[in-house]
Amino acid sequence: MNLYESIESQDKEVFGALQGEEQREAEGLELIPSENYVSRAVREANGSVFTNKYSEGYPGKRYYGGQEFTDEVETLAIERAKKLFGCDHANVQPLGGANANIAAYFAWMEPGDTIMGMDLGHGGHLTHGHPVTYMSKLYNFVRYKMKNVETGEIDYDEMRATAVREKPKMILGGFSAYPRELDWAQIKSIADEVGAVAMADVAHIAGLIAGGVAKNPFDYGFQIVTTTTHKTLRGPRGGLIMTKGVVSNPMKAPEKTIENLPTLIDRAVFPGFQGGPHMHQIAAKAVAFGEALQPAFKTYAAQILKNAKAMETVFRAGGVRMLAGGTSNHLILADVFGSLGIEGKAAEETLNAVGITLNKNAIADDTRPPFNPSGIRFGTPAITTRGFKEGECTRVAELMLDAMKNKDDQSKLDTIRQEIKELAQKFPIPDSFV
């Protein structure tokens, strides 16, 4: 079935790129932990007539007319998100995870205020205060790290001491390359001790939380939870901000109190940070949230963890050092330079050549440069969507090690590429998950 019939007749160059990407995804395996495959229904919603409509404001409070159906689909997305994550309020308008984090900061913080977040080198994200970001110029970020990079244990004693000393207005729990679970209770306890708002960025594990196999920060009293809507949640690329409590009047600026957080967040998103929401994206979010509410999603989430453990077992047997000693979630961070003598960039390129897509990644306290670090980061959300179980994931991990150890043997790499292609064809990307 040609999904791009009109593009094919109108724009050969774009059609060629689309065809190439279709083939790349079909014949290879996606192991980047922040990537996944979406259903045909999500893709259809994302390319729907809602792309035509401007909808500044919120359901029932828009600035333009003709909003009866945009209100309907945005309300659906909101209600489904609330049900998935057990919250009272959800803003589905952020265009991405970075937008969601920035809007959450804007809602509660003033320029110069202090935010505590995880150090990028120990698993955090750029938006958690890395010096290259504009947010680091607006706010004062202080950081926490792992106490032991071999076990992944966070230094909560040092986090508490830093919080007492620096008095952050917000403490942020969340990560981009951390393979273990955070202790939400400890983070909330520290936030309470210093009078800070507790915010969680669960972009990587949102699908695991929705599927019931990872802990929900709301259960530990967190006031703000942000996430992307892709990755393990398996929706369109976008962002989401959730809180407890209800909106009073999003068109009127309230006092900065915990009770007013929902209203403060809505005003921070619009008109504070974004203009018109992307209604086609919100429609796709509504579809994806509906899929995540189905019983099959819990089975999917559980299998992600089983598959990651299967790959961990192979890498451990192969003598590869894994940061934090392995994984408790969907991703693995491996020190391939220290263990196999191959740079992260070369590992990424070698594996890409055999049809396995992952990303080079710095490890904790890496002495190598960011564009050619010591590690690689990979995970199981996308291949689990294709139906891979532990046996297939074990074999993929074996082939990864084989390829990295034989990166200069083209004949060997060609053989591995053929096996990966056959495996991908055996497990085609599904159109539907319900």
Which domain CATH number covers 384?
A: 3.90.1150.10
Among 228, 327, 350, 385, which one carries the catalytic annotation?
Answer: 228
Residue 19 in domain:
no
* Claim to verify: residue 288 and residue 312 sit in the same structural domain: no
Among 143, 188, 237, 285, which one carries the catalytic annotation?
Answer: 237
- Model confidence at 346, pLDDT cuts 50, 70, 90, reads very high
Give me Rg for the CA atoms of the chain. Answer: 22
In this predicted model, what pLDDT tens digit does every residue of 203-239 receive, in sequence order? Answer: 999 999 999 999 999 999 999 999 999 999 999 999 9
Residue 156 in domain:
yes
* Claim to verify: residue 399 and residue 341 sit in the same structural domain: yes
What is the maximum alpha-carbon separation in the chain?
A: 67
Among 35, 56, 153, 166, which one carries the catalytic annotation?
Answer: 56
Give residue 420's domain range: 296-426
Query: What mean pLDDT do residues 175-186 have?
Result: 94
Does 201 participate in catalysis according to the annotation? Answer: yes
Task: Give residue 242's pLDDT.
Answer: 98
Residue 85 sits in a domain of what CATH number?
3.40.640.10
Residue 12 in domain:
no
* Claim to verify: residue 270 and residue 337 sit in the same structural domain: no
Is 309:349 a contact under the CB 8 Å cutoff? no
* Claim to verify: residue 301 and residue 285 sit in the same structural domain: no
Token digits of residue 246: 């209800």
Tell which of 242, 266, 292 closes a domain: 292
* Claim to verify: residue 247 and residue 186 sit in the same structural domain: yes
Does 228 participate in catalysis according to the annotation? Answer: yes
* Backbone phi, psi, residue 198, to 5°: -95, 120
Residue 169 in domain:
yes
* Other CB atoms within 10 A of residue 296 CB: 12
* Claim to verify: residue 340 and residue 281 sit in the same structural domain: no
Residue 3 in domain:
no
Residue 4 in domain:
no
Beta bridge partners of 228: 239
* Claim to verify: residue 239 and residue 259 sit in the same structural domain: yes
* Claim to verify: residue 118 and residue 263 sit in the same structural domain: yes
* Claim to verify: residue 54 and residue 166 sit in the same structural domain: yes
Task: Give residue 22's pLDDT.
Answer: 96
Residue 86 in domain:
yes
Tell which of 292, 319, 350 closes a domain: 292
Least confident of 363-372, 403-412, 416-425: 363-372
Does 127 participate in catalysis according to the annotation? Answer: no
- pLDDT at residue 131 is higher than 80: yes
Does 22 participate in catalysis according to the annotation? Answer: no
Does 56 participate in catalysis according to the annotation? Answer: yes
- Model confidence at 308, pLDDT cuts 50, 70, 90, reads very high
* Claim to verify: residue 270 and residue 315 sit in the same structural domain: no
- pLDDT at residue 320 is higher than 60: yes
- Model confidence at 252, pLDDT cuts 50, 70, 90, reads low
Among 188, 231, 234, 321, which one carries the catalytic annotation?
Answer: 231
Does 80 participate in catalysis according to the annotation? Answer: no
Residue 261 in domain:
yes
Helix and strand counts by DSSP (H, E) for the chain: 17, 17
Q: Which residue has the tokens 């890409």?
A: 352
- pLDDT at residue 250 is higher than 60: no
Domain count across the chain: 2
Least confident of 128-142, 148-162, 325-339: 128-142
Tell which of 276, 292, 308 closes a domain: 292
Task: Give residue 3's pLDDT.
Answer: 81
User: What is the signed CA dihedral for 335, 25, 300, 398, rounded to 10 degrees?
Assistant: -40
* Claim to verify: residue 156 and residue 174 sit in the same structural domain: yes
Query: What mean pLDDT do residues 368-383 have?
Result: 96
* Claim to verify: residue 205 and residue 132 sit in the same structural domain: yes
Among 4, 54, 156, 220, which one carries the catalytic annotation?
Answer: 54
Is 29:356 a contact under the CB 8 Å cutoff? yes
